[in-house]
Homo-oligomer: A and B are copies of this chain.
């Protein structure tokens, strides 16, 4: 499958593209078969326009590009998806199969790009495989710190990315919380969605300044397992993974247990071979089962939709404690996700609309000015769940309608929402250190490694809208680096920090709370938006923050009033609330967005929030397609 945004150079607005006919929605719930596919189709609509006429930033080199991303082996992915893809996670790390491989086109040949991927939770549910079906089995476990995996070839020129498939076979999945390889840590029996990001930048250090174009292929959704649950999935893996050839039914007595001869599908051989270099071209693009047809993936500036905490089992909507009361008809059960598509009910429809809200950001314009306030406290390492989180799904769906909510984030759920561990792993040479390019006076200091004793300081998030914050918290890592024994960063350690951040930037204001470990005094953090989807008259302001110190400081950044830029940032810092780790510092920044100009609805289409300092880089995309942005009065 491939998606071409079809972004005309002077296309004034893409709200039209964002508008999905309501009939599509209603159609969703009227059918019983292949509902997951339909959901995917829904999400294949382009959501936000890529950057066009940037007036001030000059972050995008060269002329505009027009990326087209095509998933390789789409047929195989579909085959898995149709019966509910499972991915094994092991302590030592396991590859994905089918491998995450895409072809990219439409880039600027001479511009450099960074390719990334991450895997975000689809919902807040824990699943179980019962009676050949996947069913919700309760609320999600505390989420692991998410990592953004940078393709080892990054940055490379567009022509190089386009010359061969972009594969991520180096990314491994694990359930080992204390993994030191930089693998992606997932929770078993939870549902996940891989995402692909394209960033036009010639240096990884510039990632925070840059726009993320995110592509989501719904057929890549999977449930992480420690052992296969669905025997059909097992067979499909065996039939297609060359490394599992030893388990194929060759007639010589082996694997007699596996009875049903599955449709062999297109064998996936010759593509999972040993790729030894940073380049990831293994199968050299032959025998691609891609389809560049109408199956367009969802291009996002963010795919946080995937983590909207709504559970997709047919009878449980809110992941309440009675998650097990689903109908258990064992007849001809095959575990297909199509089979447990939600029945057309009002409540599930609401959740689904929430889930696919990025396709329908405009359908909640009746939102009020009521506010939702998330509160956090310091005891985030409690593993008990606060009951307030039980209503998460409800809250989030209600957000769409502008209901006023106040949440007290405590215990695991707070961690779930707020923790943001971020090993920054670079390949040697990938990071060009240019101190002069950053508003910092301290360079090259060392970070402690990622340890269990971390600090998250409470912060206040004043939001008009929010989803689960965790999937937006992506950390950058490159797995291969650690496995090579290469120092994990030019600084010799894992720089990381915690961020409590709104998933989306409201129209008027939001508060970002961040806690940084081991940030050197004198190191200035910075914060920036990527308002590429603001009206063309919009201005983006890189935010020079005041000196960051263990003491408190305050700075304001106001947009140039002569320009019609909509972004205003107010940063305030407060001293670290220290717990166990010394010298821990917390920075709290309030972020305001001030709308200007005529095209206010689209002005909310911020594409990302970027926050960083010399020490660390963070960037997470947002999409008001996912999150209903409600403008304050």
Contacts and interface: CB of A to CB of B under 8 A. Distances in A.
Interface of A: 110, 112, 152-157, 159-160, 163-164, 274-279, 281, 284, 427-430, 433, 480-481, 483-487, 490
Q: Which 10 A-B pairs have the closest CB atoms?
A: A276-B276, A279-B484, A278-B278, A156-B428, A160-B428, A156-B429, A277-B484, A279-B486, A281-B485, A277-B480
Contact of A485 (B279, B429, B484, B487): B279
Contacts of A110: 433
Contacts of A490: 157, 159-160
A155 to B, nearest CB: 6
A429 B284 contact: no
Task: Give the copy number.
Answer: 2
Nearest to A486: B279
Contacts of A160: 428-429, 486-487, 490
Counting chain B CB atoms within 10 Å of each CB, the highest count among A160, A281, A284, A485 belongs to A485
A164 B485 contact: yes
Contacts of A154: 429
Contacts of A485: 164, 279, 281, 284
Contacts of A164: 485-486
A484 B485 CA distance: 22
Give the residue among A112, A275, A427, A428 with the most B Cβ atoms within 10 A: A428
Given A157-B490, A490-B157, A277 B433 contact: no
A479 to B, nearest CB: 10
Contacts of A156: 428-429
Contacts of A430: 429
A492 to B, nearest CB: 9
A497 to B, nearest CB: 23
Nearest to A483: B277
13 contacts: A154-B429, A155-B429, A157-B490, A160-B487, A275-B484, A277-B480, A279-B480, A279-B481, A279-B484, A279-B486, A281-B486, A284-B485, A429-B430
A275 B427 CA distance: 15
Contacts of A483: 277
Nearest to A161: B428
A437 B155 CA distance: 21
A108 to B, nearest CB: 13
Contact of A484 (B157, B159, B281, B484): B281
A477 to B, nearest CB: 14
Contacts of A484: 275, 277, 279, 281
Contact of A277 (B159, B163, B276, B284): B276
Contacts of A427: 277-279
Contacts of A275: 276, 484
Contacts of A274: 274, 276
A428 B153 contact: yes
A112 B429 contact: yes
A154 B430 CA distance: 11
A279 B478 CA distance: 13
B277 A152 contact: yes
Nearest to A153: B428
B487 A163 contact: yes
A483 B275 CA distance: 10
A263 B284 CA distance: 46
